[in-house]
Amino acid sequence: MENKTIRRNLYRVLRKTGVQKKDIYLNASYNDDLAFDKTDWSVFTFYLENVFKIDLDDKELEKMNNINDTLIILKKSA
């Protein structure tokens, strides 16, 4: 999958999770900047796995501290 497509799909997943467009930037931290709670993580993971047709394990999820970390993991999975 092309980098531009991965980024676009990730942003779409974030919007479905309820993140405002203005809050989406590469270094945005899920916990600090986006204030993700357990419910947000569940919804985000659900959409992420469905849109990208992947299964994420707990180790990969723990590595996702910000949007850029997620892009790196998605590029490896593609």
- Domain coordinates of the chain in residue numbers? 3-77
What pLDDT, on the 0 to 100 scale, is given for residue 23?
96
- Which CATH number is associated with domain 3-77? 1.10.1200.10
What pLDDT, on the 0 to 100 scale, is given for residue 14?
97
pTM of this structure: 0.89
What pLDDT, on the 0 to 100 scale, is given for residue 12?
96
How crowded is residue 19: how many other Cβ atoms within 10 Å of its Cβ?
21
Give pLDDT tens digits for 11-63: 999 999 999 999 999 999 999 999 999 999 999 999 999 999 999 999 999 99
Are 6 and 74 a contacting pair, CB within 8 Å?
yes
